[in-house]
A and B are shown apart, each in its own frame.
Chain A
């Protein structure tokens, strides 16, 4: 079975993004599932960035190392990724003499570690030294004269090369693809797809690919892999898309009927709003257009002055009857704390899409973390329940984005949809999402409301019918209030009103099906259980498969809804296992604390990662085995640059 990792690195802005995008498309055209993880610094231009692309037949949901092939477009990539190499290292012969100390953009701490390793192996601190070390380790090192291939490309293209970065990257990537036996035609098609409409760029890139393939054929035929077999999806019946987590949430929101999105620019959330903005005026399906007599839909996307305004504005839009959401990350959601409570007390339906990144404070803006779970659950003052759902992959994110909009309106509450950088920025192939099972449920809406309107009427399920501003006279206040929304501090009414608000969440807990809250993957009778959430899912699913092949039967309990929390089910699964290991991407083991709070079960072993990098499959496998062998209570993961 094909399970391949293709890694390409270079300077931020130096064509790594388009190289990765093209490579993803190549493997999709080849019939595979793909998962592309991007890593980059909080820097616009010039620091190191890379793309780790996982290629599999059935499921690609997590990055892995070692990489079958590492393509290094510059010297820094060689120094940064030589330990990632599984089989091939493609490098530029033009930088062989480059000394690690001459690379200004590289972190001094990484430099020191690399130099120590090179010293220990008796090789110089140059690219040449690293290549010698890799040769010693039996890796296939593939030197490519990038500049002369670029020259050939320029001559053959007969035009001035408009984009140097985008020809160099194509050459490097193409040599890499050729080495692992991918046909040139797929790359040519991928170039056309990715640069659709930009003929000026397509042509030189296709030529660059051809030049690279010719060069690889002439020079590396002895180490070349044989032709890569076609994957199972080489002729897919349904349209396939390649999307980031940000993209797919935007798509989910459009499918889910979002009509007002507010945001203040922040990483890693902003791309979602930018993408919504791009498609703010969108076509309806022909069937819907006919039924509604309306061809198009439109989303008002507002870039606000700050996140405080973003959430308050979304709340305002929701009171007037539009599905409204905002999108942010840790620092932004901190500013939203007060408005979250406001939405809670006035029972305003609003969705906050929260993309976690390394914190606290500005922390590591471009790096992954799962450290805002406690924030999502407990931010805001007062007795303030909310719905908190965490997506584990792109597909979950799509449907969760729709469900979040439904839950917000149905239970008239803020919903926090948790995602993380590892998903937001990872590119994933998807079949066109199936909407046949998707329901748009706006909850209790009074279309012919009396004047004035008892907006907060006591009901059995705690949910009062809603009327929109403008359909009648409705009163809202951030103060405690009576059934008409008028300020009221009567102690007897206070109990009733507070209980009504809490009751909604009992109703939600009952009505929301278990499969939306938690999933147990693998053998339900396995004695070893991993507990995780969010992006841990991808690595965990692979890990339990690999461990099974090694004779270790492990299942994975994937937590999705943290409020209302499926306490009984989680407790029953955990109590059945003899060994429970929590896996998560934060230092406090926040989900483990939440599990204990809601179930009383203390997870005895923890595998955690807070380097800001995603959990790689193999390090999870190794660490699970380590826990099983040693009984260690805590393992801290650190793989990846």
Chain B
């Protein structure tokens, strides 16, 4: 089911970075991808959380498992997916996470919009 993870890891050759197999943040259960910017996220293993890149790795790595129905964050579609349709996203090779990383001070960047 998680072939998408491996495939993504191979795709990560941007900016000339080395790919250390699949034990990378992108596949780690402690990682939250940045809500807007690709390839960047936050490691939630220890507080204070740390910014890392999707192809970083460390000794705390634990494989992410998306095997139960739930409300996941689809980093490909940049939206929440429901328990009903999360599998469809996985099948299409989308990257799912329990949560994205949204900066706590994001409101300082926002507008009155309605």
Contacts and interface: CB of A to CB of B under 8 A. Distances in A.
A and B touch in the complex (CB under 8 A): yes
Interface of A: 10-18, 38, 40-46, 49, 73-74, 93-96, 102, 104-105, 145-148, 150-151, 154, 160-166, 168, 265-268, 270-271, 362, 365-366, 425
A163 to B, nearest CB: 5
Interface in B48-95: 48-51, 53, 76-79
The 9 closest A-B pairs by CB, nearest first: A11-B36, A14-B36, A161-B51, A267-B112, A145-B15, A17-B109, A148-B15, A270-B112, A160-B50
A14 B37 contact: yes
A177 to B, nearest CB: 19
Contacts of B79: 104
Contact of B14 (A74, A93, A150, A168): A93
A165 B114 contact: no
Chain B interface residue count: which class? 20 to 34
B51 A160 contact: yes
B14 A13 contact: no
B58 to A, nearest CB: 14
Contacts of B109: 12-18, 165-166
B23 interface: no
Nearest to A425: B111
Given A104-B77, A162-B105, 8 more contacts: A10-B36, A43-B113, A104-B79, A105-B78, A146-B37, A151-B53, A165-B36, A267-B114
18 contacts: A11-B37, A38-B111, A40-B113, A41-B113, A42-B114, A46-B36, A104-B79, A146-B37, A160-B48, A163-B103, A164-B51, A165-B37, A165-B103, A168-B37, A266-B114, A362-B114, A365-B113, A366-B114
A432 to B, nearest CB: 25
Contacts, number: 114
Nearest to A365: B114
A166 B108 CA distance: 11
A43 B113 CA distance: 6
Q: Pick from A11, A165, A271, A362 the residue with the most CB of B within 10 Å.
A: A165
Interface string B5-27: 00000000011110000000000
Given A148-B15, A161-B51, A102 B112 contact: no
A491 B78 CA distance: 68
B76 A95 contact: no
Nearest to B43: A160
A45 B38 contact: no
B17 to A, nearest CB: 8
Nearest to B14: A94
B51 A366 contact: no
A450 to B, nearest CB: 48
A95 B38 CA distance: 8
B112 A104 contact: no
B44 to A, nearest CB: 12
Give the dominant DSSP class at B's interface: loop
A18 B76 contact: no
A128 to B, nearest CB: 12
A395 B27 CA distance: 54
A267 B39 CA distance: 34
B110 interface: yes
B100 to A, nearest CB: 10
A603 to B, nearest CB: 34
B40 interface: yes
B113 A94 contact: no
Q: Pick from B34, B35, B77, B102 the residue with the most CB of A within 10 Å.
A: B35
A164 B36 CA distance: 10
A150 B111 contact: no
Given A93-B15, A147-B14, A148-B15, A44 B38 contact: no
A601 B42 CA distance: 64
A212 to B, nearest CB: 15
Given A164-B103, A165-B103, A17 B78 contact: no
Given A74-B37, A164-B37, A265 B105 contact: no
A494 B100 CA distance: 68
A164 B15 contact: no
Nearest to B50: A160
A429 B102 CA distance: 32
Contact of B112 (A18, A160, A265): A265
A12 B110 CA distance: 7
B1 interface: no
Contacts of A145: 14-16
A74 B37 CA distance: 7
A270 B76 CA distance: 34
Nearest to B42: A164
Contacts of A150: 40, 51
A267 B112 CA distance: 6
B113 A164 contact: no
Contact of A271 (B35, B78, B112): B112
A74 B78 CA distance: 13
B106 to A, nearest CB: 5
A151 B40 CA distance: 10
B15 A94 contact: yes
A17 B108 contact: yes
Contacts of B16: 145, 148
A548 to B, nearest CB: 37
B78 A13 contact: no
A12 B109 CA distance: 8
A96 B38 CA distance: 12
Contact of A42 (B14, B37, B113): B113
Given A147-B14, A164-B40, A270-B112, A45 B51 contact: no
Contacts of A18: 108-109
A13 B39 contact: no
Nearest to B49: A160
A536 B35 CA distance: 38
Contacts of A366: 111, 113-114
Contacts of B38: 94-95
B75 to A, nearest CB: 11
